[in-house]
Amino acid sequence: MKVFKKIKNFSELVAFEHTVFSGAFILIAMVVASMEINKSVWFGFDTLVLCALALVSARNFAMGFNRYCDRDIDIKNSRTNKRPSVDGRISPLAMLLFCIINAIIFVLTSYFINNLAFYLSVPFLIVLGGYSYMKRFSYLAHLILGISLGLAPIAGVIAVEGWIPLWSVFLCVGVIFWVAGFDLLYSLQDIEFDREEKLYSIPSAFGERKTLIISRIFHFIAVIFWALFVYFSQGWFFSYIGLLISMTMLIYEQYLVSLDFRNIPKAFFVTNGYLGFIFFIFILIDGFARMFYGI
């Protein structure tokens, strides 16, 4: 029972269920890359297992390191002071060891994927860890978080193809602005706290109204780059349907938050959680259609 309790605490520490945000887009990249070189949506069981392990370990490192670095901040915030990192359930030493172990797993897993994945593993970890410090000195923290999740599709295409084609860069940039856009909305919950603690965030610097506008601009940019991704990856009809539904979900998310900030959790966790996988399903259907017609 004690072991299961520890596992539950660490799962809560890294909000394991939120892996869906980046998980869907690494799968999108892997399916499209496989279609490009194999003319099939299936990229192999070994690649799937290695990428899943890399994704989980990288995210565990990023979230664990963020919680470790933010202990002094989170304990003062009523929204975050019940986290395992500050309420005594997980010690700072345990968090640090957790981060080190997951970093090692990520680098070793990358080694078994291919050379490019291995060479980029440490730079990727530096970006993931760097986000935790950004809010202390730059308003760009929202975009750095976006870059952290935007690395997922880049990692996916590297695992399958061994290089980085143009369409995957468009997919990556779309993810960056999608994540930054919803992180701006999520940060509206901490606007007063950030001001009191002199933390850097766009909401604390520019206010609620301008933050909503910037978030909408970011999501508009995300849709543009996802459209470029679909076009340059030679997506068929179903890919464009997935893009249209994703755009509609972003509009709905913005609408929910504009109605009432109490809708932020619903907009953040529900809408964004479904968006990636709906997009993925339509990309997958598109791939099956192209396989059927031998394209």
Chain segment 63-102, per-residue pLDDT in tens = 999 999 999 999 999 888 899 989 889 999 999 999 999 9
Q: What is the pLDDT, as a whole number, of residue 12?
A: 82
Tens of pLDDT, residue by residue over 18-58, are 676 778 999 999 999 999 999 999 999 999 999 999 999 99
Q: Is pLDDT above 70 for 16? A: no
Q: Which residue in this structure is represented by tokens 């799962």? A: 11
Please give the sequence-ordered ranges of beta strands (E in DSSP) within 119-249, or none if there are none.
none
**CB-based contact 246:275 (threshold 8 Å):** yes
Q: Please, which pLDDT band fits residue 4 given cuts at 50, 70 and 90? A: confident
**CA-wise closest residue to 13 among 72, 105, 79, 80:** 80
Q: What is the pLDDT, as a whole number, of residue 254?
A: 95
**CB-based contact 181:218 (threshold 8 Å):** yes
What CATH number is given to the structural domain containing 101? 1.10.357.140
Q: Report which residue type is found at 161.
A: E
Q: What is the C-alpha to C-alpha distance for residues 269 and 48, in angstroms, rounded to an integer?
A: 25
Q: Is pLDDT above 80 for 2? A: no
Residue 70 to residues 17, 67, 265, Cα–Cα distance (Å): 20, 5, 21
Q: Report which residue type is found at 20.
A: V
**CB-based contact 250:275 (threshold 8 Å):** yes
Q: What is the C-alpha to C-alpha distance for residues 182 and 254, in angstroms, rounded to an integer?
A: 9
Determine the structural domain holding residue 140 and report its residue range: 2-292
Phi and psi, residue 78, nearest 5°: -60, -25
Q: Which range is least confidently modeled, 20-34, 141-155, 224-238, 264-278?
A: 264-278
- Token pair, residue 141, equals 């923290």
Q: What is the C-alpha to C-alpha distance for residues 208 and 185, in angstroms, rounded to an integer?
A: 9
User: Considering its fold, how many domains does the chain have in total?
Assistant: 1
Q: Is pLDDT above 70 for 135? A: yes
* Residue 187 CB coordination number (10 Å): 22
Rg (CA), the chain: 19
Q: What is the pLDDT, as a whole number, of residue 295?
A: 64
- Token pair, residue 226, equals 């996802």
Average pLDDT over residues 262-267: 84
Q: Is pLDDT above 70 for 149? A: yes
Q: What is the pLDDT, as a whole number, of residue 13?
A: 83
Residue 20 to residues 31, 69, 100, 144, 269, Cα–Cα distance (Å): 16, 24, 23, 19, 10
DSSP for 216-269 reads HHHHHHHHHHHHHHHHHTT--HHHHHHHHHHHHHHHHHHHHHHH-GGGHHIIII
CB-facing half-sphere around the CA of 257: CA atoms within 13 A: 28
Q: Is pLDDT above 80 for 274? A: yes
Tens of pLDDT, residue by residue over 163-215, are 999 999 999 999 999 999 999 999 999 999 999 988 999 999 999 999 999 99
